[in-house]
Structure 1
Amino acid sequence: MSAPPLSAVLWDMDGTLVDTEPYWMAAETPLVERFGGTWSHEQALALVGLGLEDSARIFQSAGVRMSVDAIIDHLTDDVMRQLGETGVPFRPGARELLASLRAAGIKTGLVTMSMRRMARTVVDLIDFEAFDVVIAGDDSTRPKPFPDPYLQACEALGVTPDEVVAIEDSPNGLRSAVASGAATIGVPLMVSIAGAGAHAVWPTLEGRTAQDVASFHAEHRAKEAAK
């Protein structure tokens, strides 16, 4: 039986499509300090790829006396403000690869643990029609590392996971994508992705095209079929 062709590419947002992790970190430190606490770079790195509700509970344990929803809203507003001031900080090669996929007629989806209003802000700042579907943190039935966000994106696009490639930068995101059944590419940024299950690791998206993604997908599915 021949492997299914590549039908869709699903993108994580923070750290994969756009380098917004420094924006989140810039929002986190003053929030914790406002309540008399301290916040280290190591603590900030531990939140990369984590669902916002789980992150908010960690801030509560660090002394932030706000509700989970209030913490999420505060951080989201701060990051959106920074985006409004600076524009979309694409990771190297990300915009070009996304445009290449669109030109090739391959469906694209954004799968992020950020809130939908934040995701829409990023998408609306992109200067072309970038995504067919957006699954955000407030849409998912369970957050990453559960497979739900990727499975929901597949359902919304009318594709099966074996027709999909996912691109992620964090261990939680990779575990989510791999568990969904998608062929998964890791593009590390701020944290190590060793042991998270990526089927391939690309140091950068720079110079990559839709054909590179399609070739990776075909090779991965051929290996799976041969097992």
Structure 2
Amino acid sequence: MTSSLPAAVLWDMDGTLVDTEPYWMAAETPLVERFGGTWSHEQALQLVGRGLSDSARVLQDAGVKMSIPDIIDALTDSVMASLAANGVPFRPGARELLADLRAQGVKTALVTMSVRRMADSVVERIDFDAFDVVIAGDEATRPKPYPDAYLQACTMLGVDPADTVAIEDSPNGLRAAVASGAVSLGVPLLLSLTGVGAHELWPTLDGRTTDDLRALHAAHAPAGSRR
């Protein structure tokens, strides 16, 4: 291929890089039940891709009589315990693609709505130097679906969003990526991404390489992009 590599690839974490959504759902149910409420799978799906403060408000509405920071801490503690017990559950092809990007010298950022200590617990369990920059939910000026976290990552990397590829699994996350100006790739997990605005939807990252992301960016980068 003659087109150049994207300047950076920006990764969502939960549901995109790692399949931790079951861990979050497993943390939510007992928390609601502790206060006498019930929590369905359909309710849990409403929290996928949302900022943790927004999710905590939904849990308060479901009867959890705790402050927003305490809810976030309780959920995060539970998910981190699952990670410690079970390891990092990479989505198919995600680790391999990330490693290939690093081998090719492409900058990478992790852009997640999980808090910093949760993000660090995942990154620390990856057996290579995976990311140049991590933007966590407690560092973003506004949560997804706002583009702030992606724009913050681009600023820290010193790249134009139009020269990047962002990978997301949820509608909220994908809306944030699209709004940032990145070439946006949707890899759905629990929720449909049809009609959300992705430049492309791939059913999986399994078997994908840096060359595939190069071709994706070349096909969809806006006119005037230096790439």
Band the TM-score falls in, shorter-chain normalisation: over 0.9
Q: Is the 8 A contact 2:5 2:106 kept in 1?
A: no
CA distance in 2, matches of 1:204, 1:5: 21
CA distance in 1, matches of 2:62, 2:46: 13
Q: Is the 8 A contact 1:171 1:192 kept in 2?
A: yes
CA distance in 2, matches of 1:78, 1:225: 45
Any residues of structure 2 matched to 1:165-204 within 5 Å, and which?
165-204=165-204
Provide structure 1 residue ranges, at least 5 long, that are not aligned to the other structure: none
Q: CA deviation at 1:193?
A: 1.0
Instruction: Name the amino acid aligned to 2:211.
Output: Q
Instruction: Name the amino acid aligned to 1:207.
Output: G
CA distance in 1, matches of 2:36, 2:128: 44
Q: What TM-score comes out, normalization by structure 2 length?
A: 0.96
CA distance in 1, matches of 2:197, 2:48: 17
Give the match for residue 63 of structure 1: 63
Aligned-partner SS, 2:124: helix
Q: Is the 8 A contact 2:4 2:214 kept in 1?
A: no
Q: Is the 8 A contact 2:17 2:95 kept in 1?
A: yes
Any residues of structure 2 matched to 1:1-227 within 5 Å, and which?
5-221=5-221, 224-225=222-223
Q: What TM-score comes out, normalization by structure 1 length?
A: 0.96
Aligned-partner SS, 1:225: coil
Q: Is the 8 A contact 1:4 1:162 kept in 2?
A: no
Aligned-partner SS, 2:216: helix
Provide Cα deviations, 1:171-216, integer angstroms capped at 9, x if missing partner: 0000000000000000000011112111000000000001110111
Q: CA deviation at 1:225?
A: 2.3
Instruction: Name the amino acid aligned to 2:209.
Output: T
Identity among equivalent positions (%) equals: 71
CA distance in 2, matches of 1:6, 1:127: 24
CA distance in 2, matches of 1:142, 1:104: 32
CA distance in 1, matches of 2:163, 2:6: 5
CA distance in 1, matches of 2:10, 2:21: 19
Q: Which runs of 4+ in 1 moved over 3 A?
A: none
Q: CA RMSD in A?
A: 1.2
Provide Cα deviations, 1:105-158, integer angstroms capped at 9, x if missing partner: 000000000000000000000000000000000000000000100000000000
CA distance in 1, matches of 2:50, 2:137: 10
CA distance in 2, matches of 1:171, 1:65: 28
Q: Is the 8 A contact 1:16 1:187 kept in 2?
A: yes
Q: Is the 8 A contact 2:144 2:173 kept in 1?
A: yes
CA distance in 1, matches of 2:156, 2:4: 18
Provide structure 2 residue ranges, at least 5 long, that are not aligned to the other structure: none
